[in-house]
C-alpha cells in the first residue's frame, strides 16, 4: 500500500512539473510570437502599416482623386468634402501626376465588411515628399518629408576605356561621372578624350531615404583628376550664402567654371548656327538673317540658364513662342525661344545650370529645338565667336577663408590611394545642415 501511495505521489509531482514546463514553453512561445510581430512592423508615412490593410498603386492616365476614391467605394458627396478640406494643403483635384505612386489605407476592423472603404489616401509627390489625406474621423491633410540620411564616401578609379565603364566595374553611380563632367571639370577636361591611365579620386555624399532607399549622389565635396599629365584639384565652396551660389575652385582658389555654358541643353545637337547671310528656299532664297543658334532636342528636354542672372522676360510673343530672357550683367543677355513651357518668372534670380524651361515647338518652329540668342552690349552676336569671361573670381577676404577650409580636405584627398576597392563609407553619417554649410 505504501508503495502504491509513493508511486501515485511521484506521478502527481511529475505531472505538476510537466505542466509547469508546458506553461514555460507556452510563455516562451508567446514571447517569441510577440517579438516576431514587433519585428514585422511596417513603418512608413508616419503609420505602422501592419495595423492596416493597404493597397499601393500608381496614378494612371485619366485618373483623378475622385475616380480613385470612387473606385474604392467612396461616394462623391464625401469625395467633394475631402477635396475641399484638403485643397489649402494640396490641391489634390489638379495636382495628381500620371505615374506617381499612391497608397490607400483600410481599417483592419472592417476587413470583413462587404464594402470596404479606405480611411487614408497618401500621395507621393517625390521619393521624399508625400501628402497625407486622412478622413477616418475628421478630415485632415498635411505634407511630410521622409527622413533623409547623407553618407560621405570616397572612391577612386583608373581609366581603361572610359569613365562610365570604370564606374560600372567598381559598382559606383554614373551620377559621379555626370557631376565631374558637367559640374566640376566641364571647362578643363574633355571627358570624351580621356586617356587610359587617367585616374581620379573623389569625396562625395550619397543620399538615402528612410535609411534604406538609395536616392543617388547628393554632391561632390572634392575631387582630384590626373589627365594628360596635369593634376587637377577641385573643392566645392559656397561664395554667396544669400543667392546660394556654389562653385568649384582649385588649390590656388581659381574658379574652375567659366561664366557661360557652351550650350543650354545637355543632350542636343547644333542644328543651325548664327548666320546673318542665311538664305532659305521656302522664302525664295532671300536673305533672312538668323541671329540665334539652334540646338535640336526632343520635346521636354530641360533648357538650362547658361550663366547666373536675373529673368527679365518670361512670356509668349509672336514667332518666338514661349521664351525666357535673362540679364547676366551690364554686358551680357541671353534668350531661349520656342519653349514648351517656362519654369521661371520675371524678376527671379537663376544660377548657371538651373532649369528655366523645356524644349518645345511654340511660335515659328519647324521642329523641336531651342533657339539660343546672345547679346553683348545690346547687340546680338554669335556666342561661339566670343571670348567669354571666366567666372567671377573669389574675393580676397573670402580667399583666406577658402584656403583654410580646404587644408584638411586636400590632405584627406592626398591620403587616398588608388586601389581597386569598393567605395568606403565614413563611420558617421552627416546631417543636411553639414551638407549645405560647405564653407
Helix, strand, coil percentages, rounded to 5, for the chain = 25, 35, 35
3-state secondary structure at position 210:
coil
- Which pLDDT does position 287 carry in this prediction? 58
Contacts of 372 (CB under 8 A, 6+ apart): 263, 264, 292, 293, 294, 295, 306, 334, 335, 336, 337, 383
pLDDT number for residue 13: 45
> What pLDDT was estimated at residue 190?
81
- In total, the chain counts a number of residues equal to 439
CA 12 vs CA 4, 6, 26, 402: distances in Å: 12, 10, 21, 85
User: Rounded CA gap, 335 and 314, in Å?
Assistant: 10
- Tell me the CB-side half-sphere exposure of residue 324, using CA atoms within 13 A: 30
CA distance 417 to 438: 24
Write down the CATH number for the domain with range 43-145: 3.10.450.350
**Domain residue limits, the chain:** 43-145, 148-258+393-436, 269-385
Distances (CA, A) of 175 to 155, 219, 418: 13, 9, 20
Question: Which residues does 170 contact at the CB level (< 8 Å), separation at least 6?
Answer: 155, 157, 420, 422, 423
- In which order are the strands placed within the sheet that holds 101-107? 52-58, 101-107, 118-124, 129-134, 140-145
Q: Beta 286-287 vs 279-280: how paired, if at all?
A: antiparallel
Collapsing DSSP to helix, strand or coil, 14 comes out as: helix
Residue in the block written with cell 470596404: 116
Name which CATH class applies to 269-385. mainly beta
Confirm whether 43-145 and 148-258+393-436 share one CATH topology. Answer: yes
Q: Cβ distance 255 to 247 under 8 Å?
A: yes
- Give Cβ neighbours of residue 332 (< 8 Å, ≥ 6 apart): 259, 260, 307, 309, 374, 375, 376
Count Cβ atoms below 10 Å from residue 284 Cβ, excluding itself: 8
Say if residues 296 and 367 touch (Cβ distance below 8 Å): yes
Q: What is the pLDDT along the chain (439 residues), one digit of tens a residue?
A: 444 454 454 544 444 444 444 455 555 544 544 444 444 677 889 898 888 999 999 999 999 999 999 999 999 899 999 988 888 888 877 788 999 999 999 988 755 666 788 999 999 999 899 999 999 888 999 999 999 999 999 999 999 988 999 999 888 999 999 899 888 998 888 888 899 999 999 999 999 998 888 888 999 999 999 998 889 999 999 988 887 888 999 999 999 988 898 889 987 788 888 877 665 554 566 656 788 899 999 999 999 999 999 999 999 999 999 999 999 998 999 999 999 999 999 999 998 889 999 999 999 888 999 999 999 999 999 988 888 777 778 888 899 999 999 999 999 999 999 865 444 444 455 555 555 444 4
Coil vs helix vs strand at 384: helix
What CATH class has 148-258+393-436?
Answer: alpha beta
**DSSP per-residue string spanning 50-106:** GGEEEEEEEPPTT--HHHHHHHTT--HHHHHHHHHHHTTT--HHHH--TT-EEEEEE
Q: Supply the pLDDT for residue 37.
A: 44
Amino acid at each position: 500500500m505504501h508503495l502504491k501511495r509513493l508511486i501515485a505521489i511521484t506521478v502527481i509531482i511529475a505531472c505538476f512539473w510537466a505542466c509547469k514546463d508546458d506553461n514555460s514553453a507556452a510563455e516562451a512561445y508567446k514571447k517569441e510570437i510577440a517579438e516576431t510581430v514587433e519585428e514585422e512592423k511596417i513603418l512608413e508615412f508616419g503609420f505602422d502599416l501592419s495595423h492596416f490593410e493597404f493597397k499601393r498603386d500608381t496614378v494612371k492616365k485619366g485618373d483623378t482623386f475622385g475616380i480613385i476614391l470612387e473606385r474604392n467605394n467612396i461616394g462623391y458627396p464625401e469625395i467633394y468634402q475631402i477635396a475641399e478640406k484638403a485643397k489649402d494643403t494640396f490641391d489634390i483635384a489638379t495636382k495628381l501626376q500620371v505615374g506617381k505612386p499612391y497608397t490607400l489605407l483600410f481599417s483592419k476592423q472592417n476587413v470583413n465588411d462587404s464594402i470596404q472603404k479606405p480611411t487614408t489616401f497618401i500621395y507621393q509627390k517625390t521619393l521624399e515628399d508625400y501628402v497625407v489625406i486622412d478622413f477616418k474621423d475628421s478630415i485632415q491633410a498635411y505634407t511630410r518629408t521622409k527622413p533623409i540620411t547623407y553618407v560621405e564616401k570616397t572612391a577612386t578609379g583608373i581609366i581603361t576605356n572610359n569613365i562610365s565603364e570604370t564606374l560600372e566595374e567598381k559598382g559606383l553611380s554614373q551620377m559621379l561621372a555626370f557631376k565631374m563632367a558637367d559640374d566640376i571639370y566641364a571647362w578643363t577636361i574633355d571627358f570624351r578624350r580621356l586617356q587610359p591611365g587617367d585616374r581620379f579620386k573623389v569625396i562625395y555624399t550619397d543620399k538615402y531615404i528612410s535609411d534604406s532607399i538609395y536616392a543617388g549622389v547628393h554632391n561632390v565635396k572634392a575631387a582630384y583628376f590626373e589627365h594628360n599629365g596635369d593634376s587637377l584639384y577641385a573643392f566645392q565652396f559656397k561664395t554667396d550664402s544669400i543667392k546660394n551660389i556654389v562653385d568649384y575652385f582649385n588649390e590656388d582658389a581659381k574658379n574652375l567654371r567659366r561664366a557661360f555654358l557652351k550650350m543650354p541643353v545637355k543632350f542636343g545637337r547644333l542644328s543651325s548656327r548664327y548666320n546673318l547671310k542665311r538664305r532659305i528656299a521656302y522664302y525664295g532664297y532671300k536673305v533672312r538673317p538668323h541671329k540665334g543658334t539652334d540646338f535640336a532636342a526632343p520635346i521636354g528636354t530641360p533648357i538650362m540658364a547658361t550663366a547666373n542672372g536675373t529673368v527679365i522676360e518670361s512670356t509668349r510673343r509672336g514667332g518666338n513662342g514661349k521664351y525666357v530672357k535673362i540679364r547676366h550683367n551690364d554686358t551680357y543677355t541671353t534668350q531661349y525661344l520656342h519653349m514648351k513651357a517656362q519654369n521661371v518668372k520675371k524678376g527671379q534670380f537663376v544660377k548657371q545650370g538651373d532649369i528655366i524651361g523645356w524644349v518645345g515647338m511654340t511660335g515659328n518652329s519647324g521642329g523641336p529645338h531651342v533657339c539660343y540668342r546672345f547679346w553683348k552690349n545690346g547687340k546680338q552676336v554669335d556666342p561661339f565667336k566670343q571670348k567669354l569671361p571666366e567666372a567671377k573670381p573669389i574675393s580676397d577676404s573670402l580667399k583666406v577663408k577658402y584656403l583654410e577650409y580646404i587644408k584638411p580636405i586636400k590632405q584627406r584627398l592626398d591620403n587616398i590611394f588608388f586601389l581597386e576597392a569598393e567605395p568606403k563609407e565614413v563611420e558617421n553619417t552627416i546631417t543636411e545642415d553639414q551638407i549645405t554649410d560647405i564653407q
